[in-house]
């Protein structure tokens, strides 16, 4: 069973100058998913402010309700989650529909894997093409069993472990989703479950589990991070205030850098060091980005970003930086097309298995709009100097591809159009409205 697709929404963006304003982007997507899930297995009622109310996260909330947790949104926009304890999840009566969200389904598989329940997980056409084997493999070692479609894709049925066992698992490639799935499974397994990551990935799971009272330790050994959790200890409900998503902030930030005479401020952005790779890279490229009002909120570094139009130059982005900006490469590639010189990005193999083959989709979109590129299995090289534009981009049901090329159109010599923008709602429902509010020229494209 695959959910019906939303109505196609073609858009066109045109050259714009002078973006202005103070804006707020939606709450961080990674933290939103985790706050709902951790609240669902905590004891007591978790209250969440600033939750990202996009389709992906709402689908996670619905899944937690179907598993037995109570979730509702009050009139002030605060979400309440009544938890059932680490062993309290129940078999859902209907398939759990995760829509477009790889994070939602992969973390949920870990959450459910060590509880003796049965659940079918489904998603939209895009999610149903994405591989789940990298998550199901370690969870099978812990005692879970899976029935998946060919290629280890959705639809997938999970049979949770009746006698779960803890494991020590070394990540074969950097993946916060796989790490998180194993740690969440470890919460209901006896003893100590350990994940070893040779390359550090975003650490929201570790930080938030600590806030919920999990017995979790993080150590550096022989150049790798060892994250361990003691199983079968209850979590305690929390008050969570979610800051703005840096992956969503990336699009108005680059738009301001590329559009002449622009000066915007993006308020209350999460600045976790495992998520700031794009800011670091743009600063190396000559971007005028100033972090103001830096503070700590809910265990995370937070600040406001003042961004001004800038002349950028090409750089080489090391593979080691990829985990801290894996979702931002589409918009970085757009920025690179307007920089002076060539930008090379290494370590991009993960982009092959995102909502689309993002690496191929980004390169095709650049070439459609007159940008010279070269690529390999895990790298992309973009020749700068400005995008002529004029191309129609195939978004492949990928929200980040859609937003990145709308930003390109704001700085290209000719407009840029999209075949569809409907999937932007999975992470940033009011993206077009927010951009137009700053002066961006984005409009509907008539379908002939």
Looking at the annotation, which residues are catalytic? 327
Site of tokens 């950097």: 174
How far, in Å, CA of 231 to CA of 213, rounded? 12
Query: Cα–Cα distances in Å, from 79 out to 42, 70, 74, 86?
Result: 15, 10, 6, 20
Neighbour count for residue 250 (Cβ, 10 Å)? 28
Spatial CA neighbour of 363 closest among 411, 341, 316, 396: 396
Cross-strand partners of 14? 441
Helix (H, G, I), strand (E, B), or coil: what is residue 444?
strand
How far, in Å, CA of 71 to CA of 32, rounded? 13
Q: Are 437 and 20 in contact (CB under 8 A)?
A: no
How far, in Å, CA of 179 to CA of 414, rounded? 43
Q: Would you say the C-alpha torsion 40, 41, 44, 49 has a positive or negative sign?
A: negative
How far, in Å, CA of 343 to CA of 335, rounded? 10
How far, in Å, CA of 87 to CA of 294, rounded? 39
Encoding tokens for residue 396? 């492949």
């Amino acid at each position: 069973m695959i959910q019906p697709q939303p109505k196609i929404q073609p858009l066109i963006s045109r050259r714009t100058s002078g973006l202005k304003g103070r804006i707020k982007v939606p709450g961080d997507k990674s933290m939103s998913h985790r706050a709902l899930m951790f609240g669902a297995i905590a004891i007591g009622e978790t209250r969440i402010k600033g939750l990202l109310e996009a389709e992906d996260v709402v689908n996670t909330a619905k899944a937690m309700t179907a598993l037995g947790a109570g979730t509702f949104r009050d009139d002030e926009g605060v979400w309440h989650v009544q938890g059932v304890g680490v062993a309290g999840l129940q078999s859902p009566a209907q398939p759990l529909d995760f829509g477009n969200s790889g994070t939602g389904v992969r973390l949920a598989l870990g959450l459910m894997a060590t509880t003796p329940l049965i659940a079918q997980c489904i998603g939209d056409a895009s999610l149903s093409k994405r591989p789940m084997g990298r998550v199901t493999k370690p969870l099978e070692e812990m005692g879970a069993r899976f029935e998946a479609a060919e290629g280890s894709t959705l639809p997938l049925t999970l049979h949770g472990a009746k006698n779960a066992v803890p494991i020590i698992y070394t990540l074969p490639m950097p993946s916060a989703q796989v790490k998180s799935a194993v740690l969440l499974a470890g919460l209901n397994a006896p003893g100590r479950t350990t994940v070893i990551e040779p390359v550090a990935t975003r650490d929201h799971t570790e930080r938030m589990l600590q806030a919920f009272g999990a017995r979790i330790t993080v150590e550096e050994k022989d150049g790798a991070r060892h994250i361990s959790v003691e199983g079968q200890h209850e979590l305690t409900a929390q008050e969570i205030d979610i800051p703005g998503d840096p992956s969503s902030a990336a699009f108005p930030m680059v738009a301001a850098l590329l559009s002449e005479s622009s000066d915007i401020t993006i308020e209350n952005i999460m600045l976790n060091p495992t998520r700031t790779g794009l800011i670091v890279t743009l600063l190396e490229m000559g971007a005028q980005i100033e972090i103001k009002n830096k503070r700590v909120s809910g265990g995370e570094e937070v600040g406001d970003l003042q961004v001004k139009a800038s002349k950028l130059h090409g750089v080489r982005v090391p593979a080691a930086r990829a985990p801290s900006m894996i979702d931002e490469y589409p918009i970085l590639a757009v920025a690179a097309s307007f920089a002076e010189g060539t930008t090379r990005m290494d370590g991009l193999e993960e982009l092959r298995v995102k909502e689309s083959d993002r690496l191929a989709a980004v390169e095709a979109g650049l070439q459609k709009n007159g940008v010279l590129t070269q690529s390999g299995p895990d790298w992309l090289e973009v020749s700068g100097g400005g995008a002529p534009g004029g191309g129609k981009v195939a978004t492949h049901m990928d929200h980040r591809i859609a937003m990145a090329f709308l930003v390109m159109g704001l700085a290209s010599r000719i407009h840029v159009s999209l075949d569809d923008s409907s999937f932007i709602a999975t992470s940033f429902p009011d993206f077009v409205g927010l951009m137009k509010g700053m002066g961006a020229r984005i409009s509907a494209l008539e379908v002939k």
